[in-house]
């Protein structure tokens, strides 16, 4: 009777292990080899159980040696771990973020680690997006309160400089006045960009094809390429019409193409493509620059952060705001051979 009860309990535990929506694994403390993993572990990592059992996380390149050693030491000292955030690598090389808990157990007569994890990658990405939107809203509040107040005295100063520059008594100083006016104009452009991030004047949504919008802008983009001795290639795909704020999308395309040109040396080629991917229309802009470091990549889109020697860092922030207005996402991949920016618009 007792044996039957134990068997039923073990069977119940085994079913719970296999059916759990969390990643679960049992591994030996002695050598770190996996003894058992559940279905969720297989799906999240991409490794089928037969490839995992009998091998270590280090052999499979799921965790690095330091992480595994640290976890083992903490478990031996404390007997349990709860909600430790750590990265893990899937079979295809993707990096995911997991929230790990673990306990020491005895399984089939040997000391083992029972580990349980929740994949929180999407949650962390969502938190980053929310944080970015909060920063954008803060910029909007600041711009709304001080933008016009700054512009008004600047306009007055500019007007008096123009008047003085036109007077014969001050002709010797005209070059200085012109320089001051030029700097005021530059400051005004920064404020205008600042305000564009804060609040965009939206017209009505119009059903348009993204290829048509890009084609209308193509002479401007070609002119940018020509003046910088660079090349441009546009490969339009077969895509459906979408609802756009056309002026905003035009600004997004120009901002991204100009960023791409600025990232390249002379004779570099900027590639623009459009295509459908699942239920999304994708605008892809790829340059042949030297790429962006991972540290800088994480900060892109943050107002006032820029990798350029000049500029405000608001151009890409504006693009993120435009993407948000269209329920679109911006994805950026970069390497030493260039940067690839994808804007993903949902098809409704």
Strand ordering across the sheet containing 329-335: 231-235, 269-277, 280-286, 338-346, 329-335
Asked if residue 125 and residue 115 are part of one domain, the reply reads: no
Asked if residue 191 and residue 222 are part of one domain, the reply reads: no
Q: Three-class SS string for the chain?
A: CHHHHHHHHHHHHHHHHHHCCCEEEEEECCCCEEEEECHHHHHHHCCCHHHHCCCECCCCCCCCHHHHHHHHHHHHHHCEEEEEEEEEECCCCCEEEEEEEEEEEEECCEEEEEEEEEECHHHHHHHHHHHHHHHHHHHHHHHHHHHHHHHHHHHHHHHHHHHHHHCHHHHHHHHHHHHHHHHHHHHHHHHHHHHHHHCCCCCCCEEECHHHHHHHHHHHHHHHHHHCCCEEEEECCCCCCEEECHHHHHHHHHHHHHHHHHHCCCCCEEEEEEEEECCEEEEEEECCCCCCCHHHHCCCCCCCCCCCCCCCCHHHHHHHHHHHHCCCEEEEEEECCEEEEEEEEECC
Asked if residue 126 and residue 66 are part of one domain, the reply reads: no
Which domain-ending residue is among 199, 229, 262? 199
Asked if residue 226 and residue 283 are part of one domain, the reply reads: yes
Asked if residue 348 and residue 208 are part of one domain, the reply reads: yes
Asked if residue 257 and residue 132 are part of one domain, the reply reads: no
Q: Which residues pair with 233 in a beta bridge?
A: 271
Q: Tens digit of pLDDT per residue, the chain (348 long)?
A: 555 666 777 788 888 888 899 999 999 988 889 999 999 999 999 999 999 999 998 899 998 766 667 777 777 788 788 888 888 999 998 889 999 999 888 888 888 989 999 999 988 887 877 776 666 666 666 666 666 677 778 888 888 888 888 888 888 888 888 889 888 887 887 777 666 655 555 568 899 999 999 999 898 899 889 889 999 999 999 999 999 999 889 989 998 999 899 889 999 999 999 999 999 999 999 999 888 777 766 666 555 556 555 555 567 878 888 898 899 999 989 888 889 999 999 998
Q: What is the pLDDT of residue 137?
A: 66
Half-sphere exposure of 54 (CA within 13 A, CB side): 4
Asked if residue 77 and residue 149 are part of one domain, the reply reads: no
Residue range of the domain that includes 251:
202-348
Which domain-ending residue is among 164, 199, 234? 199
Asked if residue 39 and residue 138 are part of one domain, the reply reads: no
Which domain-ending residue is among 103, 119, 135? 119
CATH number for the domain spanning 184: value is 1.10.287
Tally the domains of the chain: 3
Asked if residue 82 and residue 39 are part of one domain, the reply reads: yes
pLDDT per residue as tens digits for the range 268-319:
999 999 999 999 999 999 999 888 777 766 666 555 556 555 555 567 878 8
Asked if residue 143 and residue 86 are part of one domain, the reply reads: no
What is the chain's alpha carbon radius of gyration, rounded to the nearest angstrom?
28
Asked if residue 346 and residue 264 are part of one domain, the reply reads: yes
Nearest to 52 by CA among 37, 31, 72, 69: 37
Asked if residue 52 and residue 36 are part of one domain, the reply reads: yes
């Amino acid at each position: 009777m007792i044996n039957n009860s134990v068997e039923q309990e073990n069977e119940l535990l085994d079913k719970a292990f296999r059916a759990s929506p969390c990643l679960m694994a049992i591994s030996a403390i002695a050598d770190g080899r996996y003894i058992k993993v559940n279905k969720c572990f297989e799906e999240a990592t991409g490794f089928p159980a037969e490839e995992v059992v009998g091998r270590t996380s280090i052999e499979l390149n799921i965790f690095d040696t330091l992480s595994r050693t640290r976890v083992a030491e903490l478990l031996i000292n404390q007997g349990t771990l709860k909600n430790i955030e750590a990265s893990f690598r899937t079979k295809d090389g993707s990096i995911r973020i997991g929230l790990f808990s673990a306990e020491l157990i005895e399984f089939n007569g040997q000391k083992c680690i029972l580990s349980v994890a929740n994949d929180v990658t999407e949650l962390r990405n969502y938190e980053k997006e929310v944080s970015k939107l909060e920063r954008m809203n803060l910029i909007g509040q600041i711009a709304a309160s001080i933008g016009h107040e700054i512009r008004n005295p600047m306009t007055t100063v500019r007007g008096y400089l123009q008047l003085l520059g036109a007077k014969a008594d001050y002709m010797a100083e005209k070059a200085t006045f012109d320089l001051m006016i030029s700097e005021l104009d530059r400051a005004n452009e920064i404020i205008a960009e600042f305000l564009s991030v804060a609040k965009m004047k939206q017209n009505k949504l119009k059903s348009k094809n993204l290829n048509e919008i890009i084609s209308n802008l193509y002479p401007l983009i070609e002119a940018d390429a020509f003046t910088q001795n660079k090349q441009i290639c546009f490969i339009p795909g077969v895509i459906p019409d979408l609802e756009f704020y056309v002026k905003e999308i035009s600004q997004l395309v120009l901002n991204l193409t100009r960023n791409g040109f600025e990232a390249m040396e002379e004779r570099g080629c900027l590639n623009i493509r459009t295509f459908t991917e699942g239920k999304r229309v994708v605008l892809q802009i790829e340059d042949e620059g030297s790429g962006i470091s991972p540290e800088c990549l994480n900060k892109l889109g943050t107002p006032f952060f820029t990798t350029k020697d000049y500029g405000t860092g608001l151009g890409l922030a504006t693009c993120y705001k435009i993407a948000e207005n269209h329920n679109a996402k911006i994805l950026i991949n970069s390497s030493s051979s260039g940067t690839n920016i994808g804007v993903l618009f949902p098809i409704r």
